[in-house]
Amino acid sequence: MSREYDPSPEGNPSVLARRNRFQTALVKFIGKRTPKCREVVRILSQAMDSKLPLSMRIKLRLHYLICAWCKRYEKHLHELRKFASSVPDHTDAFSEDTLSPTAKERMKEALRETRRK
Amino acid sequence: MDSAKSQACTKRTDTIDPERWVEEHGDCLYRYALLRVRRPEVAEDLVQEAFCAGVRTFGSFRGESSERSWLCGILKNKICDYFRKLGRETCFTDLEFLEDELSHKFVPQGFWNHDLGPLEWKPEAEVVMHRNEFWETFKNCLARLPRRVADVFMLREMEEMETAQICDALSISPNNLWVMLHRARMALRECLEMNWFKGHSPGGSV
C-alpha cells in the first residue's frame, strides 16, 4: 500500500487546508471524491469547449476548495483564451512583415474591380 | 424621418473607402494571416479575399466594432475556409508531443506536485497584454508547439471555430481534438509561466 498522500501540505494556499482535525477530515473526503488534479486539468480543457454536466461542475467547485493549483489552472486557461483572441491587436509583435507596394496595388485594383460589380 | 434615414445611408456608403483599408489595415491583417498560414503568398490572397468580401458586405457593418476588427473577423472566416480546404489527417507524431513531458508536475497519486503546480500570475492578464515583450514570449511559445497542434489551438482560440467544425475541417476525431487542445493549452500555459510570469511576478509567489 502506498503511503498516504498529503493533499494539503504546510503553507497550502487553498481555502481548505489541514489546519485542524475537522479540516483534515474534509480535505480527505473531498480528495477522495473529486477527480485527481491530473484528471482535472484534462476536464478543465474540455470545459473550455463544451458545457460540463452539473455534477462535474460541482465536483470541480469542491476540488478547488482543497486545491488552489487547479483553480489557478482554470483561470490560466481563460487567460490563454483572452491572449489568443487579442493577437490580432498585437500583430506587430509577431512579425515586421509588411505587404509589398505591388501587393497593395494589386489589392486596390481588385477592390476597385469588386466595387464596379 | 425618411430623409434622415436616407441621409444616414448615404453617409454609410460614403465612408466605404477600400483603398484606405489597404493602407490602414493591410499590414496588420497580413501579419495575422501570415502567423496563421505561414506562407506569404497565401496570406496575401487571404487578405485580398477578406477586403473584397468586406466591400461586398459593407452594408452589414453596423459600426459596433472598429472597422479593423470587423475586417479581421472576415479574415478569420477566410482562414477557417482555408483550413477546411486544406484539411487532412493529423500526423500522429504530433500527438506524442508532451505525452509524458509534464508528468513530473504530478505526484504518482495524481495530485499536483506542490512545488511545481501553477503559480499565481502577476501582473494580471490585462496588464501584460500591453507589453510588447509579452507578445514576443507568446509568439515563441506558440512556435514551440508542433505545427498541427498549433493550427488546431489557433483555429479554436483565435478564429473561435466550434470544435465540431474543426473536426470536420481537419478530419480528426473528436477525441484527438480534445487531446490536442488539452496538450496545446497545457504546453502554452507552462511556457508562458516559465518564460514570462515567473520572471515578472514580484517575489515569484507560489
In a domain, A70, yes or no: yes
SS3 A34: coil
Residue of chain A nearest B22, judged by CA positions: A104
Q: Domain containing A28: what range?
A: 1-78
Check A73 against B48: CB less than 8 A apart.
no
Residue B121 has pLDDT above 70, yes or no: yes
Cβ of residue B157 closer than 8 Å to a chain A Cβ:
yes
Residue of chain A nearest B130, judged by CA positions: A90
% of chain B with per-residue pLDDT over 90: 49
In a domain, A85, yes or no: no
Residue B86 has pLDDT above 90, yes or no: no
In a domain, A21, yes or no: yes
Quote ipTM for the complex. Answer: 0.87
Residue B96 has pLDDT above 70, yes or no: no
Average pLDDT over residues B7-11: 40
At B32-85, the pLDDT tens digits run 999 999 899 999 999 999 999 998 888 888 777 888 989 999 999 999 999 888
Cβ of residue A3 closer than 8 Å to a chain B Cβ:
no
Q: What is the pLDDT of residue B53?
A: 93
Q: Tell me which chain A residues have a C-beta less than 8 angstroms from the C-beta of B163.
A: 49-50
Segments in chain A below pLDDT 50:
1-3
Using pLDDT thresholds of 50, 70 and 90, give the confidence band for residue B206: very low
The C-alpha cell that represents B63 in the structure block: 459600426
Supply the DSSP symbol for B71. H
Q: What is the pLDDT of residue B89?
A: 52
Closest CA to A9 of B197, B100, B116, B121: B116
Q: How far apart are CA B60 and CA B63, in angstroms?
A: 9
The minimum CA-CA distance between A51 and chain B, rounded to whole Å, is 12
Check B69 against A37: CB less than 8 A apart.
no
Q: What is the pLDDT of residue A56?
A: 97
Q: Phi-psi bin for B148: left (phi > 0), alpha (psi -120 to 50), beta?
A: alpha
**Mean model confidence pLDDT for chain B:** 83
pTM of the model: 0.84
Q: What is the pLDDT of residue B101?
A: 61
Q: What is the pLDDT of residue B66?
A: 87
Check B178 against A46: CB less than 8 A apart.
yes
% of chain A with per-residue pLDDT over 90: 58
In a domain, A96, yes or no: no
In a domain, A42, yes or no: yes
The minimum CA-CA distance between A90 and chain B, rounded to whole Å, is 7
Domains and CATH numbers, chain B: 2-86 (1.10.1740.10), 93-204 (1.10.10.10)
The minimum CA-CA distance between B185 and chain A, rounded to whole Å, is 7
Q: In this structure, are residues A68 and A13 in contact, taking their beta carbons and an 8 Å threshold?
A: yes
The alpha-carbon radius of gyration of chain A (Å, integer) is 25
Q: Per the structure, how many domains does chain A have?
A: 1
Residue B203 has pLDDT above 70, yes or no: no
Average pLDDT over residues B103-125: 87
Q: What is the pLDDT of residue A40?
A: 95
Cβ of residue A103 closer than 8 Å to a chain B Cβ:
yes
Q: In this structure, are residues B150 and B142 in contact, taking their beta carbons and an 8 Å threshold?
A: yes
Among B21, B107, B132, select the one facing A5 at the smallest CB separation.
B107
In a domain, A16, yes or no: yes
Closest CA to A7 of B120, B110, B119: B110
At B151-180, the pLDDT tens digits run 999 999 999 999 999 998 888 889 989 999
Residue B5 has pLDDT above 80, yes or no: no
Q: How far apart are CA B44 and CA B28, in angstroms?
A: 12
In a domain, A88, yes or no: no
Among A77, A111, A114, select the one facing B185 at the smallest CB separation.
A77
Q: In this structure, are residues B188 and A80 in contact, taking their beta carbons and an 8 Å threshold?
A: yes
